[in-house]
Amino acid sequence: MRANDFVQSYFEAWNHRDPVAVADHLACDGTYCDIPLNTRRSHDELIVSLGKFFSAHRQRYELIGEILEGPNTIAFQYRVFPLVQDRKSANEEEILRGSEFVTFNGDTAITIYDYYSLPGTDQPVDIAGLRSADQRRAGKYAKSGLCERQLTLYKERLETAMRYDRVYLRSDLTLPKLAKVIDCSVNHLSQVINAGFGMSFFDYMNRYRVEHAKGLLAELEGKGSAVLNIAFTVGFNSNSAFYAAFKKYVGQTPAQYRRARINGVH
């Protein structure tokens, strides 16, 4: 893998607004992670998404600074300008700037992490620090035998189990039990959650449980007593744990959130 060739080809694909060419920089089983939007797309999903994006936006992408290289990784910064009559305008202002971190298996990208920010918001992460952090994470995987391909596979299985099977609703769910669902070791699952999602097992579970609870609270329509039942419905073992987690992630108690929803609707 030659970093300069990859990045040059990658930017050419973006600037030609060619969704297939952009996605083909990613392995067929690779993953593109849009960090600000908190979305993950496969090779084929990226083609569909970029097809819609390019039909609505005309932009030019430029590399900023140098490309940083590591073992099977590269990181670089970019900026985006509006496309004015297919030529560079001296007066145009950049739309946004960002950073990407790419991991490889040979010459093919396995994961592409895209971090960006709009003008006036926080600046994108420093790519040197990003590379260092992701290399430390990769080193942790290597020591345990968990490669990037396995990480991606386990993350996809985990998200499927959570989003579609809703395993988080099981109040008796533990890390070992979830590992059996994902069909991986407890140690690997712990690393997937800790390093892949940046949170503990309980925080990861509670995030889904709280989101589910928010939907149920919005459906109560004045049934105050039903609030007490939601904790157990979404998988918590006690109301105190439910209230603590809900306040942590939402910034309000369940009752406060419900009242705000009712007042907002009526």
- The 3-class secondary structure across 43-103, one letter per residue, is HHHHHHHHHHHHHHCCEEEEEEEEEEEECCEEEEEEEEEECECCECCCCCCCCEEEEEEEE
What are the backbone angles phi and psi of residue 219, rounded to the nearest 5°?
Answer: -95, 0
Distance CA 233, CA 24 (A): 43
Question: To which H or E segment does residue 110 belong?
Answer: strand 108-117
Strand order through the sheet with 108-117? 39-42, 26-34, 108-117, 96-105, 73-82, 59-70
Q: Identify residue 240 by its one-letter amino acid code.
A: S
pLDDT tens, 142-179? 444 566 677 788 888 898 999 889 999 998 888 889 99
pLDDT at 120 over 70: no
Half-sphere exposure of 258 (CA within 13 A, CB side): 20
For residue 256, pLDDT beyond 70: yes
DSSP three-state, residue 156: helix
Give the per-residue pLDDT at 94: 73
As a dihedral over the C-alpha atoms of residue 235, residue 251, residue 119, residue 85, rounded to 10 degrees, the angle is 50
pLDDT at 90 (0 to 100): 46
Answer whether residue 201 shows pLDDT above 50.
yes
Kindly state the average pLDDT of the residues 113-142. 52
Contact 148, 138 (CB under 8 A): yes
Residue 10 confidence class, pLDDT cut points 50, 70, 90: very high
pLDDT above 50 for 182: yes
Asked if residues 17 and 83 have their Cβ atoms less than 8 Å apart, the reply is: no
What are the start-end ranges of the H helices in the chain? 3-15, 19-23, 43-56, 127-144, 148-163, 175-182, 186-191, 201-218, 227-233, 239-250, 254-265
For residue 210, pLDDT over 90 is answered with: yes
Residue written as token pair 């809703």: 166
Residues pairing with 59 in the sheet: 82
Lowest mean pLDDT among 141-145, 171-175, 179-183, 249-253: 141-145
pLDDT of residue 208: 93
Mean pLDDT of 77-105: 74
Among the listed ranges 38-42, 124-128, 179-183, which one has the minimum average pLDDT value? 124-128
Per the document, the length of the chain is 266
- pLDDT tens, position by position, 56-82: 888 899 998 888 887 788 888 898 888
For residue 168, the model assigns a pLDDT of 94
Distances in Å between the alpha carbon of 205 and those of 29, 57, 75?
26, 37, 31
